A and B are shown apart, each in its own frame.
Chain A
Amino acid sequence: MKKFHDGYRRVCRSVVALALVTCALPGYAQEVYPTRAITLIVPFPPGGVAEITGRPTAMAMEKILKQPIALVNRPGAGGAVGNAAVANARPDGYTLLMALSSISVIPAADALFDRKPAYAIDQFAPIALISADPTILVSHPSLPVKNLQALVALARTKQGQMSYSSSGIYGALHMPMEMFLHHYKLKMRHVPTNGGGPALTTLLGGHVELTAGGPAAITSHVKSGKLRPHVSWGAKRHENYPDVPTFKEQGADIEYYIWSGLMAPRATPEPLLKVLRDAVRKAVEDADFKTAMARVNSPIQYMDAPEFAKYWDADARRLAAVVKVVGKVDDKK
């Protein structure tokens, strides 16, 4: 019996080996991408949104591409360092970027200040949008307003006296606030900090009155009554905040998301991009990926390259317009 099995196995093995060799033959002429590890650059420090969504994405794609994907943090200058590194990387499909929405703001700010641009938006080829989360306007509970109308009315009577914190000038939480202020023609004091965490801490301590918060970051504080949500920047109501209206419902045509998406250098050959796009399409259906994203309260918002390119284009336009409106801070005085 055993002998039979051994023989059977041997035959099987040879057949499989032969099949593999035949399959691999054309591969010698043109190797099947990917043949080695892919580097996924996260342009932010560890622990941030880009890494939290990047890791599960990378893990799910590893399963599909059968090659390891190494996540590398290249923080600096609000994402500019890592973005620029990918923009100028060799377009061989082995260097990818986990970009956040700020990717569109940096070139706009560079243009505003006449700086040598770190990179240009057209240096990237979008692969897929992974997640998009609107910010939510939250206030300290000591502020005696319960809804947007009251808030706007109060801010009108106190022009230039109320204050808000942000993750930094032209940062991910500064942009939505400027959209809001510009739309309602309000003036407030801007207290920039150095990140989403410190911006939230400053509000929790009551040192400012408002901030735009990421839905995941503010959840526990809203539940415990330490923060009061007013309005969301999303087009639809946020599923975790069904009672919080959107700006659009309130008649203000403003929209803002902190999104994360996968990108490659522009010149990456189309067949390789196709492989990556297919991999992401399967990866977002992966059960482990879904659980991982649900755990960090990050809603999956998958879009394939063509759709994502359109989405990104519209978003970049909106953001560039905001940067222009904000202008150079000194010029306003």
Chain B
Amino acid sequence: MVETLNNLLLGFSVALQPQILMYAFIGCLIGTLVGMLPGVGPLAGISMLLPATFGLNPIVAIVLLAGVYYGAMYGGSTTSILIRLPGEAASVMTCVDGYAMTQQGRAGPALAIAAIGSFVAGTAGVVGLMLLAPTLASFALRFGPPEYTALLLMGLLVLAYMTGGSIPKTLAMAGFGLMLGMIGIDAMSGYTRFSFDVIELADGIGIVPVAVGLFGISEIMLTASQHMPKLPKNPSLRELMPSSTELKQSIGPIARGTTIGFLIGIIPGSAHIISSFIAYGIERRVSKSPERFGHGAIEGVAGPESANNAAATGAFIPMMALGIPTSPVTAVMIAAIMVHGISPGPMLISQRPDLFWGFVASMYVGNVVLLILNLPLVGMFVSLLRIPYSYLYPCILAFCLLGCYSVSNSVVDIWIMLAMGGIGYVLRKLNFDLAPVALGLVLAPMLELSLRQSLAMSAGSYAIFVERPISVVMLGCGVAMLLFSLKPLLFKSKKKDWRSTVGLDEVS
């Protein structure tokens, strides 16, 4: 403990140097902007900054890039809440209740709770990173393909709790998402599926163009087709901040979101994207009044927003403690320190304590910076909504196009986004909920790959899933969740299931 404190002091002595402090601030600022711009996610932001870090020292480089990463997790919520446009994949779930709150004139509290939740989760995540990094990292390695499959199956079960709409419609949308996820090269055999000789499709369809199209573009079209879009009134400061009831309602979701997000974030791979979906599903499940979800429940903002921030921090654990790039973002960050001649690996923390502890300390500082940056800006962001739609929406459309293109410099992505915008418009007119499409698309390729990897490991025997303790436990939890969700259908209780009271009632 004393050692940790000493190390942390060393860290702060590094992180509070004016130069590093400045870069942490710049990183957070860029991250916030990157998160806000639709389509431009943390990966695109970090990649664009990477060459700029070559001339800096490695600590500065990593502090800057990390700032962009978790800053993007803060910023991503802003556009989701205000205009139903997910800034990056992890904030898709925030669109649902966050935007509903905006429509009720509660954009301020939604933004504020997103910032507070992110702060709590980010800070708690750093504490976890600091105290448990080496232990958790070796645990994370035990997550092989079978464990991953079990985790993703649990993610699929979350679908049951995702929407208040009719179950057949939810399943249809999830099916649509899963089918979109089937496009691309078959990982086991190398065959290309449904790519119609478009090389870009061989990699499958990315989540960014789909999420921006389905949520953002469709919203722009829907607004344009309304006769009189109502202008939000100028909110007073009191209305900008969450009420004490709302704060109280958010404590549980923030705590749960942080824990879930952190644990999922540690696992190698891209599972951190599903952390916000799972957090949302769980909040809805444990809520006493699940019917409020989808209609502006603050828990639906607090849970997922905390989860994605905690996951972002958790993802640094395998990177720092083992030096393995577990996701595209950490791969770029590892490259950033490698070009300075530091080889990341299991000895990094002991060989370069200044780097690791400086990094940890800078994240404490960064989270505070982000809270300070984000809370006062809530008012400003909300007043963005007072820009007439005829000016605001064309600008947003332009940003969507740019952002989508910038992810991998691909024009095909823009077409996908526009097509998804059209599909999203029609589906919403028909009262379909779109979040399951996004979850399906995220899950399908990961689930397929890990399932088939597992079966390759066992030469086709499904017993592999029950032979390994972690996967057994997770599958057990999954089955329990499934039974719980079936209970109201099997035993018709006197009290009607909330789903039937919600029926086909929709968000829009």
Residue in B closest to A58 when the chains form the complex, CB atoms: B51
Measured in the bound complex, the distance between the Cα atoms of B44 and A45 in whole Å is 10
Determine how close the nearest CB of chain B comes to the CB of A68; give it in whole angstroms. Answer: 12
B residues in contact with A77, CB < 8 Å: 185, 199-200, 202-203
Residues in chain A near residue B331, CB distance under 8 A: 45, 47-48, 195, 197
Contact A45 B200 (CB under 8 A): no
Q: How far, in angstroms, from A30 to B171 measured CA to CA in the complex?
A: 65
Do residues B199 and A189 form an inter-chain contact, with CB atoms below 8 A?
A: no
Question: Would you call B345 and A221 a contact (CB within 8 A)?
Answer: yes
Contact of A47 among B50, B323, B410, B457 (CB under 8 A): B50
Which residue of B187, B197, B410 contacts A76 across the interface (Cβ within 8 Å)? B410
Is there contact, CB below 8 Å, between B190 and A207?
no
Chain B residues lying within 8 Å of A223, measured Cβ to Cβ, are 345, 347
Per-residue CB contact flags for chain A residues 274-316 toward chain B (1 = under 8 Å, else 0) read: 0000000000000000001011110000000000000000000
**CB proximity of A322 to chain B, nearest CB, Å:** 13
Chain A residues 198-251 with CB under 8 Å of chain B are: 198, 200-202, 204-208, 216, 219-221, 223-224, 226
Number of A-B contacts (CB under 8 A): 166
Residues of A within 8 A of B218 (CB): none
Q: Is B191 in contact with A113, judged by CB distance below 8 angstroms? A: yes
Interface size, A (range): 35 or more
A40 to chain B, nearest CB (A): 12
B346 touches A224 (CB 8 A): yes
Instruction: Check A55/B269 contact, CB under 8 A, given A76-B200, A205-B141, A219-B343.
Output: no
Complex CA–CA separation, A115 to B186 (angstroms): 14
Q: Within 8 Å of chain A (Cβ to Cβ): is B340?
A: yes
CA distance A226 to B189 in the complex (A): 30
Instruction: List residues of chain B with CB within 8 A of the CB of A78.
Output: 185, 202
CB of A103 to closest CB in B, whole Å: 14
Q: Which of A90-98, A146-154, A162-170, A177-185 contacts B (4 or more CB under 8 A)?
A: A162-170
Nearest A-chain residue to B333, judged by Cβ: A47
- Do A204 and B324 touch across chains, with their CB atoms under 8 A apart? yes
From B71-79, B142-150, B308-316, the one touching the partner chain is B142-150
Given A45-B328, A160-B459: A207 and B144 within 8 A (CB)? yes
Residue of B nearest to A192 (CB): B187
How far apart sit A135 and B144, CA to CA, in the bound complex (Å)?
Answer: 23
A295 in contact with B341 (CB, 8 Å): yes
State the CA gap A321–B341 with chains docked (Å). Answer: 37
Report whether A81 and B345 are in contact in the complex, using a CB–CB cutoff of 8 Å.
no
Q: Find chain A residues with CB under 8 A from B200 CB.
A: 76-77, 81
- Residue-wise, chain A 30-57 has the 8 Å CB interface mask toward B (1 for contact) of 0000000000000001111001100100
- Residues in A with CB closer than 8 Å to B457 are 163, 189, 191, 207-208
Q: B324 touching A201 by the CB < 8 A rule? A: yes
Chain A, residues 101-120, CB within 8 Å of chain B (1/0): the string is: 00000000100110110100
Are A169 and B190 in contact (CB-based, < 8 A)?
yes
Q: Quick one: CB contact mask for A315-332 with B, threshold 8 Å, 1 for yes?
A: 000000000000011100
Contact A197 B409 (CB under 8 A): no
**Shortest Cβ distance from B454 into chain A, in angstroms?**
9
Which residues of B are found within 8 Å of A195, using beta-carbon distances?
331
Q: Is the CB of A74 within 8 A of B409?
A: yes
Residues of B within 8 A of A76 (CB): 199-200, 202-203, 408, 410
Whether a CB of chain A sits under 8 angstroms from the CB of B380 is no
Decide: A163 and B456 in contact? CB cutoff 8 A: yes
Given the interface pairs A55-B51, A80-B202, A296-B338, the reply to whether A192 lies near B345 with Cβ below 8 Å is no
Across the A-B interface, the 8 shortest Cβ-Cβ residue pairs: A220-B345, A207-B144, A47-B335, A46-B47, A295-B341, A77-B202, A197-B325, A205-B141
Contacts of A197 in B (CB 8 A): 324-326, 331
Contact pick for A115, options B192, B336, B408, CB 8 Å: B192
Residue of A nearest to B268 (CB): A201
